[in-house]
Structure 1
Amino acid sequence: MIKLQKRVYLVFLIALYSILLISCQEEEFEEYIPEEKELIDVDFSKTQNFMYRRDSKGAIADIIPYYYNNQFYLFYLYDHRGVLPGEGVPWNLLTTTNFVNYEDYGEVLSRGSSTDPDLYVFTGSVITKDETHHIFYTGHNPHIGKQAIMHATSTDLINWEKDPEFTFYADTRYYQDVDFRDPFVFYNPDDQMYWMIISAKYKQALGSASLALYKSSDLMNWTIEPEPFFQTNQIHFMECADLFKIGDWWYLIYSDFAATRYVKSKSLNGPWITPVNTQLDGRGYYAAKSFADDKNRYLFGWIPTKSNGVDNGQVNWGGNLMVHKLTQDENGDLNVSMTEGGYSAFQDLIYTGDVISLSNKDNRNEIEIIDQSLPSSYRLSATLEVSGNNASFGVLPKAIDETVDAYGYIFDHQTNGLNFGYVNKFQTNFSFFNGLFNTLERIRVKKYYIDILVENETLTLYVNDKIALSARMYDLTGDKIGFFVSNGNLTVRDFKVYSYGASK
């Protein structure tokens, strides 16, 4: 009788384990169903740098976005790359309504002299009060040795007047004065005060990252709060902080010299929660800040160039502007997807592919290259259906044939990672693309909907309208698309390629 009870109990445990295993698998592989994309107006007569905007002579660094009178004002730090004489960085300005067509106003906030605190006009923020626009920005001069918070005003967002009387440095009772920058100003209706958060080094927690908090009733007179607004010992400094609210959730975006990340909270007083995937892109997209129009919120960052224009070159400061769309999951996590402008700019369908089926079980990459030459700029969409818990698979956006290296976006189910690197029949190689990584942990499924935007050497992959990974390609010269799989099975469906232009 006892043996029978044990046997029945063992059968019950096995059945229970099987049910739990199946339910976990079903939860892990919940299918994502994409929504229909909104199309907006695009002026197709303008073709230069239509998605990854860059100045023809210099480069775009930290973007300071602002939305006013139905258009975005994108101020940015202009890295002149030797075009301008001497030291220093000014703010330039682009305006746009669709993130495809831009109006370039050039320099709008000039750099100071070699003896001024703002020889380098570094990152800040824009706010409007009583029809006067205010910029609060970082003044940096390496010859002075400390950073200042400075101020300028305008009535039209284009012509700015500096306010040299408004200059303050870190309160050294609480903070070091060497790293004290990137002021972000917003009005807090709950406190009925303007708040300014500043990237700083709190003396009581050196080696950790802090955001100082100042408050004001009029934007002109600011009082420091003795305790930091935010402090973490996970990193040593936070750059380009940005704070906003969607629904019930507050979001704090920052960059940590590697990637742009975020935390979330139901209250400005915390606690702040680190999501499963804290990255908003990979290492190839930096110093991103956000702003919203009347409907949506967008993320504005830059994709760095590399020295000498080669894959193994040193990563530069500054590059091309790239805009993502931000949305919110039910649990408050942020999603990153392509903007409406990205879809709308590439509507000219130039290729529709047949269903592709690939299989491999011996650690090699089974590759299929599509025999169709593509333009230097295009949008690709496809559905990737995969099986195999250890499968590695992906897309090759600039391929020649299966025997030589091609650039590849690599989905790795064994590590739950999404990487960018070189792929050929025998191996993958990430050595020139250290840090171009995102995680599949919160979106791992059997079916992935992908969109890729390619413009010359710059590109971005979007997966299930939830994560993105941007990169840059220099060395390889292929003009075909390929797909691959290792240790699993891959089926590619709904494969389409669009060029820049209206639907025909």
Structure 2
Amino acid sequence: MSKKIMKAVLSLGLASSFIITGSFNIVKASQANDFAQMTPDQQEANYGNKMFFKPVDQNGIKSFVGDPMPYYENGKYYMYYLKDGGDSFRHSIYLATTKDFVNYEEYKKPIIETEGIGQEEWIGTGSMVKVKNEYLYFYTAHANTDATGFKETIRVAKGNNLTDLKKDKKFEVTPPEDIHQKNDFRDPQVYYDKKTKKLSMTVTASKDGVARILKYSISENLKEVKYDGIIFTEPTGVFWNLECTDTFKLGNRWYITYSAQDDTLWYASSDSQFGPYSEPKRLEGKLFYAAKHVEDGKNTYMVGWSRRSDQTTSMDVNAWAGNLVVQQLKVNSDGSLYLAPVKNYVSTLKAGQRSKFNHFTQTSETYMIRGSFSYKSLGNFGLSFGYSDDANQNKLITINPKDNTLELNYENGKKLITKVNAPLKPGKKYSFTYINDGSTGVFYIDKIAALTVRLHGVTGKNVYLYTKNDSVKFSGMEIYRKN
């Protein structure tokens, strides 16, 4: 370790239960894949994206996952998504499938392709639903101007299987008159009720500059469409759009989720599927975006994409589309929700190389860190990731008891990237898990908080336990590296 890095780390402070002579576990990368010696761009180009799926780049053009639209059937998860870059034409809908969230099969051709003209200059988010023996994929048709009458409308594609779909141009839903605008009307999420033989569809839109969620009732033959009105109004008045809305039942409560425009994942609950809803709460930070739920009869998951930087050396993380990230959704006894690591992520990593460590260790491409902590006062502490020879450029996952937040900070704590609420108490012992694949990671404080992070340029370098103005005890520190 260089003296320059050591000096900066010491300026943060060491966790009280460790000394600088603590064990340092080094895993040597292969000569062809020595991430520690690569630039951030080179690291990105060499990632295998083993857990957090990313489509293969096409003809030198980077490819990313945009808004996911997950669907489950017969033991397989169908991850439809808006593909950004690569060979995708204006966010056409592509597909990757998985049985375990670790191994993915990527479909090379689009499932629904953008036309590039008229009402379908672009395609936007939608959802898959099965009605009897037919699959219906509702999606957003987006025009660059309102010359066609409406900038956004809802359309459908049909098929007798999950991969071969044909657009039905006879079906189209346009914005209702009472929202007083024709521009923002998107992200249809559709549910089929076998008992009533009707479809319910929610659409996100704005009215008078405030974000709303609308509801429609549709006959199973799609010939009758009834507008039922507004079921949810964003209560803060800050956001004009609620992206990728979804509603589902977990336990005895119904929940609605949405990503407020360029903000975070929120949720609210109700006694019935379509409200009225409770006061909404944030569930994750700004880097886990456009998440929708998928359930397999036993477990419920949120599937979103991890935000990234346009330039890997940038200190901003605001680019659209990234890697596919899946988190398990669980409910507390009081009805509040929290996110947990996917069990297959954990079991896959635990099958790899396990090492104990004290103060710092070396990272790899795909790994998991687990341990526990307790603290006495209201300083900051967490994980500090080496980025360059200057530790003042380290990237921090910060636990901040004073503000009750879990944070991602760049520039050794000077630049806040994202945060989420994490209420903690001094003297209590908490368990945590950090799962990393490539430059994407998710940090979990068990049953308290989850935060997706983006760490360009740190693979193969050291990660340190640090504390600032606090007395912290870390215990049971282990790192598991995927073979």
| TM-score above 0.5 | yes
Of all paired residues, the percent bearing the same amino acid is 25
**Structure 1 range deviating more: 310-319 or 401-410:** 401-410
2:354 is aligned with what amino acid?
A: I
Tell me which residue corresponds to 1:378: 367
Normalised to the residue count of structure 2, the TM-score between the two structures is 0.82
2:318 to 315, 329, 347: 315
Tell me which residue corresponds to 1:446: 428
Q: For 2:311, what is the secondary structure of its paired residue?
A: helix
**Is 2:471 the counterpart of 1:489?**
yes
Given the superposition, is the C-alpha separation of residues 387 and 423 from structure 1 closer, same or farther in structure 2, using an over 3 Å criterion? farther
TM-superposed CA distance for 1:314, in Å, is 5.9
**Is 2:278 the counterpart of 1:286?**
no
**Is 2:171 the counterpart of 1:166?**
yes
1:456 is aligned with what amino acid?
A: G
User: Within 5 Å, which residues of 2 pair with 1:170-319?
Assistant: 170-188=175-193, 193-202=198-207, 206-225=208-227, 227-234=229-236, 235-257=239-261, 258-268=263-273, 270-274=275-279, 278-313=281-316, 315-319=318-322
**Is 2:445 the counterpart of 1:460?**
no
Tell me which residue corresponds to 1:365: none
1:64 is aligned with what amino acid?
A: M
How many Å separate the matches in 2 of 1:168 and 1:315? 32
Tell me which residue corresponds to 1:48: 48
TM-superposed CA distance for 1:91, in Å, is 0.5
Q: For 2:346, what is the secondary structure of its paired residue?
A: helix
2:454 to 465, 468, 472: 472
2:49 is aligned with what amino acid?
A: N
TM-superposed CA distance for 1:201, in Å, is 2.2
| Matched-pair contact (CA < 8 Å) for 2:246–2:293 | yes
User: Within 5 Å, which residues of 2 pair with 1:8-23?
Assistant: none
Tell me which residue corresponds to 1:88: 90
How many Å separate the matches in 2 of 1:376 and 1:315? 23
Normalised to the residue count of structure 1, the TM-score between the two structures is 0.79
Q: For 1:106, what is the secondary structure of its paired residue?
A: coil
How many Å separate the matches in 1 of 2:181 and 2:477? 54
2:100 is aligned with what amino acid?
A: N
Tell me which residue corresponds to 2:353: 349
| Matched-pair contact (CA < 8 Å) for 1:124–1:135 | yes
2:113 is aligned with what amino acid?
A: R
TM-superposed CA distance for 1:232, in Å, is 2.7
| Matched-pair contact (CA < 8 Å) for 1:452–1:459 | yes
Q: For 2:139, what is the secondary structure of its paired residue?
A: strand
2:70 to 49, 65, 69: 65
| Matched-pair contact (CA < 8 Å) for 1:281–1:469 | yes
How many Å separate the matches in 2 of 1:246 and 1:64? 19
User: Within 5 Å, which residues of 2 pair with 1:317-466?
Assistant: 317-347=320-350, 348-354=352-358, 369-370=359-360, 372-388=361-377, 390-398=378-386, 404-422=392-410, 424=412, 428-431=413-416, 433=417, 436-441=418-423, 446-466=428-448
How many Å separate the matches in 2 of 1:192 and 1:157? 21
How many Å separate the matches in 2 of 1:268 and 1:97? 28
1:225 is aligned with what amino acid?
A: Y
Unaligned runs of 5+ in 1: 1-46, 355-368
2:313 is aligned with what amino acid?
A: V
Q: For 1:127, what is the secondary structure of its paired residue?
A: strand
Q: For 2:302, what is the secondary structure of its paired residue?
A: strand
| Matched-pair contact (CA < 8 Å) for 1:349–1:496 | no
How many Å separate the matches in 1 of 2:248 and 2:363? 40
TM-superposed CA distance for 1:225, in Å, is 3.1
Q: Deviations over 1:343-379 (max 9, x none)?
A: 122122331125xxxxxxxxxxxxxx42x43322211
Given the superposition, is the C-alpha separation of residues 403 and 61 from structure 1 closer, same or farther in structure 2, using an over 3 Å criterion? closer
Tell me which residue corresponds to 1:37: none
Q: For 1:308, what is the secondary structure of its paired residue?
A: coil
Given the superposition, is the C-alpha separation of residues 314 and 280 from structure 1 closer, same or farther in structure 2, using an over 3 Å criterion? closer
State the number of aligned residues.
425
TM-superposed CA distance for 1:383, in Å, is 0.5
Q: Deviations over 1:175-229 (max 9, x none)?
A: 5221011111113578663211111123xxx121111111023150343335312
Given the superposition, is the C-alpha separation of residues 489 and 199 from structure 1 closer, same or farther in structure 2, using an over 3 Å criterion? same
TM-superposed CA distance for 1:155, in Å, is 1.6
| Matched-pair contact (CA < 8 Å) for 2:247–2:273 | no
Given the superposition, is the C-alpha separation of residues 223 and 154 from structure 1 closer, same or farther in structure 2, using an over 3 Å criterion? closer
How many Å separate the matches in 1 of 2:469 and 2:481? 33
| Matched-pair contact (CA < 8 Å) for 1:71–1:97 | yes
CA RMSD of aligned residues (A): 2.4
2:314 is aligned with what amino acid?
A: D
2:245 is aligned with what amino acid?
A: A
